[in-house]
A and B are shown apart, each in its own frame.
Chain A
Amino acid sequence: MGRTHVDAVIVGAGWAGSIMAKELTEAGLSVIMLERGPERTTPVEGAYPESIDELRGAVRKRLFQNLSQSTVTIRNTMDQTALPYRQLAAFLPGEGVGGAGLHWSGVHFRVAPEDLRLRSSVIERYGEKFIPEGMNLQDYGVTYEELEPFFDKAEKVFGTSGEAYKVQGKIVGNGNVFSPDRSDNFPLPAMKDTFSASIFRDAAKNAGYHPYALPAANASRQYTNTYGCQMGPCNFCGYCSGYDCYLYSKASPNVNILPALRQDPGFTLIPNAHVLRVDLDSTKTKATGVTYLDTKTRKETSLSADLVILGAFQFNNVHLMLVSGIGKPYDPVSNTGTVGRNFVYQTITSSRVWLPSSTYTNQFVGAGGAGVAIDDFNSMNFDHGPLGFVGGSPVWVNQAGVKPIAAAIGAGGGGTPRWGSAYKNALINTYKHSLGIDAHGSNMAYRDVYLDLDPTWKDVYGQPLLRMTFTWKDNDIRMNQYVVSRIEPIARAMGATKMNLVHLNAGQPFDTRNYQTTHLGGGAIMGDNPQTSALNRYLQSWDVSNVFVIGSNAFPQGMGYNPTGMVAALAYWAAHHIRTTYLKSPGPLVKA
């Protein structure tokens, strides 16, 4: 009966999958991309004015993963029973064509070069003893210089707006003084500062810090990208996060890649196709294809492929590896195995600053990627010696468009009323006259923070759920506290009449009930040692060389920046080496 054969099968139609699909079809391969969720296109999902509907969008979570089909279990420590993540809250994974890339915000960073070699960098400056017991600090095995062309390529596909600091060794503008050299400018000028961001910029500068415009995959002008896909100028409608941009102004796979890809006869996209496993041969060193379930007809199909690309998002990639038997599962007790190792997240706390009642912050105005940040406390940009922690955090005002239901539900608490007339007063005052300042920081990897398969709960397909063992650790809590303490003088200089500085507290466990970010990382990390990384520096499985695993799963530890710029660059980096080396002679790109 012969299985359908293709050159490459790609799991997941988000950024990672779409970039790989584009690259591999350009290389002349026949490609099938399988997406568990439905087809999504901007004329349908983004149609105005129905798209401008907070209840249907971010509140009822129309574009996010439907947990009734599959979820994860979560516990804080290894001695607890992990319980199912039954309602979306802490993080909001994507589902459907475009993945979370359809409903992301658009903050589009590169990487702080020293974050790629954080272990080496910390040891060089402070010695090996500086690294706390139990912290699995590692280098990526790839340098900024190697990745630079791929950051550049991604920005030109995303239509990224920003202000450069240094291009080809020359200082060209008012960008981030801590950012590394670039081969070229941003394709579009920076987004305008909202009022809130502009006063943060002034106050931060007066305090001696180095404010810069956040790089945003929101188009500050009209733009035609590398693939001929077009974007219109963003109008600060404020409906990025959780929505499909109705103006075609926010970069998404749907707007920036798929319109070109869909025209390629070598490319097939199959939505409503949930991949159950990667099929391996009897040696478990070669993938023969994948098996997926058509979620509409409930029919199972196996595809045969020479190359399998996992782009199903960080933890789904790890889940697929575990259920398929790719690589050795991580065991925290014996400290062996790699799949599930170094699971990380993002520290984030949002502080609030109130301005006089004559000043309106118009918080509904905004764009997901726009804002002003400082990097003075990010990465290795400051002296960690006397502080005694690893990692750091940008601080920013990123007014992305605050909606009324979200504002109302979140208002009150911390000693102030959560209902009644006094609550109403406070809500209205806060909505009209306040702004948020975030500390969006790194999260290090630890021996007892990891991913494996849950022993009890299953998804609707009968497969075990992925289990997350995760909590905040002292190093990261102290990092967050230090950085938040630096916000206070800036807030005062902004003319704060009141402020609520929010930081993580010592011993505070990870709470699954409040949205933090969808910046999960690690679990199938890249590196130069098969004992401590599941993937080599080209994101190729050390164990099954015709499987490449693309996503933030590759990050050995969390960084202060948002992940997607790095994910896109890694995808282009891996694709480049597949095209130039692997396809000519399939096999391991690095000798184990």
Chain B
Amino acid sequence: MEPTLNRPLRRSFVKGLLGTTSFWMASGNASWTAALAAEAAQPYLPTFFDAMEYRFIEAASERLFPVDDNGPGAKALGVAEFIDRQMQTPYARGENWYMSGPFQQGPANLGYQLPFVPRDLYRKGIAGVEHYTRQHYGKGFADLPPVQQDEILTALEGGSVQLDEVPGRVFFEQLRTNTLEGAFADPLYGGNRGLGGWTMLGFPGARADFMDWVNQEGAPYPLAPVSISGETA
């Protein structure tokens, strides 16, 4: 059978009919309306990151998740906007983490033991990488060619760089995790624009009913994704 989900990504997408979402809005969730409105507003103005930091996020996330033959990369998917918006949530303030001292370091397998929440990790991490980059390459991260950006990310991932108070590897993992979240979360949160992330994977989003596809002998699921707000790819 010809895999229908391997068709080239449609860059232009049809917005879901807003009418179909009216009952959700009537249920009083203002965040949806806000999210849809925010998505329409161009260009996005970051509220947590300053301009330099935002350029770093845009550049680094695109290297982690680059545009290629498979489809869009972090930039086209709105990953930087996603991360900036996440910085205003309880998650970024570490409100669900145990953050009581003393903070004592130990073996890696006993888990995260730094006194920093995600907002701190980004502030300190970006400043650290920028400092490192200027020292070793004479320019800011976003102004380097991709090959050198990859070199720096590889060094961070490998753990050979300490960014002042934050180990390079910790910052790298934070950035990688949030980048991938931004590529694949519901577009409600600003990333996965046009459902581009889901389309690449063949993930149908919020359809959540596969009664007819429990076992189709390995045939691909036929429908394209739909988002929580009713947007389709």
Contacts and interface: CB of A to CB of B under 8 A. Distances in A.
Nearest to A407: B201
Contacts of A59: 181, 185
A407 B208 CA distance: 17
A565 to B, nearest CB: 23
B214 A192 contact: yes
A60 interface: yes
B120 interface: no
A511 B109 contact: yes
A68 B96 contact: yes
A421 interface: yes
B124 interface: no
A427 B66 CA distance: 13
B217 interface: yes
Interface string A280-322: 0000000000000000000000000000000000000000000
Given A83-B113, A431-B202, A408 B96 contact: no
Interface string A62-91: 000011101100111000111111111100
Contacts of A86: 97-99, 111-113
B208 A54 contact: no
Contacts of B201: 404, 407, 427-428, 431-432
Contact of A236 (B70, B206, B210): B210
Interface residues of B, number: 67
B213 to A, nearest CB: 6
A510 B109 contact: yes
Contacts of A195: 214-218
A236 to B, nearest CB: 4
Interface string B179-193: 011011110110000
Interface in B187-209: 188-189, 197-198, 200-206, 208-209
A512 B228 contact: no
Contacts of B218: 195, 355, 358-361
A386 interface: no
A407 B202 CA distance: 12
A364 interface: yes
A55 B220 contact: no
A408 B185 CA distance: 11
Contacts of A54: 184-186
A48 B104 contact: no
B203 A421 contact: no
Interface string B135-170: 000000000000000100100010000000000000
Given A67-B97, A246-B208, A431-B201, A405 B181 contact: yes
B203 A404 contact: yes
Given A81-B106, A509-B109, A513-B111, A198 B215 contact: yes
A138 B53 CA distance: 58
B147 to A, nearest CB: 12
A1 B104 CA distance: 46
A55 B181 contact: yes
Interface in A422-462: 424-425, 427-428, 431-432, 456-458, 460
Interface of A is mostly: loop
Contact of A85 (B91, B95, B107, B111): B111
Which of under 10, 10 to 19, 20 to 34, or 35 or more describes the interface residues of A?
A: 35 or more
B3 interface: yes
A404 B109 contact: no
A50 interface: yes
Count chain B CB atoms within 10 A of each CB in A76, A83, A87, A407 and give the residue with the most. Answer: A83
A80 B106 CA distance: 9
B64 interface: yes
A404 B112 contact: no
A456 B98 CA distance: 14
Which one of B63, B181, B204, B218 has the highest number of Cβ atoms from chain A below 10 Å of its Cβ?
B218
A513 B109 contact: yes
A553 B96 CA distance: 25
B210 A238 contact: yes
Contacts of B219: 360
Contacts of B213: 236, 362, 365
B203 A431 contact: yes
A365 B98 contact: no
Contacts of B112: 86-87, 513
A424 B65 contact: yes
A507 interface: no
Interface string A252-291: 0000000000000000000000000000000000000000
B24 A85 contact: no
A221 interface: no
Interface string A398-428: 0000011101110000000011110011011
Nearest to B197: A404
Nearest to A69: B98
Interface string A106-134: 00000000000000000000000000000
Interface in B1-53: 1, 3, 5, 24, 27, 29
A484 B108 CA distance: 26
B134 to A, nearest CB: 23
B181 A418 contact: no
A232 to B, nearest CB: 12
Given A195-B215, A404-B198, A235 B210 contact: yes
A348 B217 CA distance: 28
Nearest to B109: A511
A376 interface: no
Nearest to B82: A55
Contacts of B189: 55
B176 interface: yes
Contacts of A347: none
Contact of A49 (B1, B111, B198, B228): B228
A409 to B, nearest CB: 5
Given A54-B185, A236-B210, A409-B180, A421 B68 contact: yes
Contacts of B214: 192-195, 236, 365
Name the residue among B63, B108, B112, B221 with the largest chain A CB count within 10 angstroms: B112
A237 interface: yes
Contact of A52 (B24, B217, B228): B228
20 contacts: A50-B29, A53-B206, A54-B184, A54-B185, A59-B185, A74-B110, A85-B98, A85-B111, A87-B98, A193-B214, A236-B210, A238-B208, A362-B220, A408-B184, A409-B176, A419-B64, A419-B176, A424-B65, A424-B70, A432-B5
Closest 8 pairs between A and B when the two form their complex, measured CB to CB? A404-B184, A359-B218, A237-B208, A55-B185, A360-B220, A408-B180, A511-B109, A365-B210
Interface of B: 1, 3, 5, 24, 27, 29, 63-66, 68, 70, 89, 91, 94-100, 102, 104, 106-113, 150, 153, 157, 176-177, 180-181, 183-186, 188-189, 197-198, 200-206, 208-211, 213-221, 228
Given A54-B184, A364-B204, 11 more contacts: A49-B228, A66-B95, A66-B96, A74-B110, A75-B110, A84-B98, A85-B111, A237-B208, A360-B219, A420-B64, A424-B65
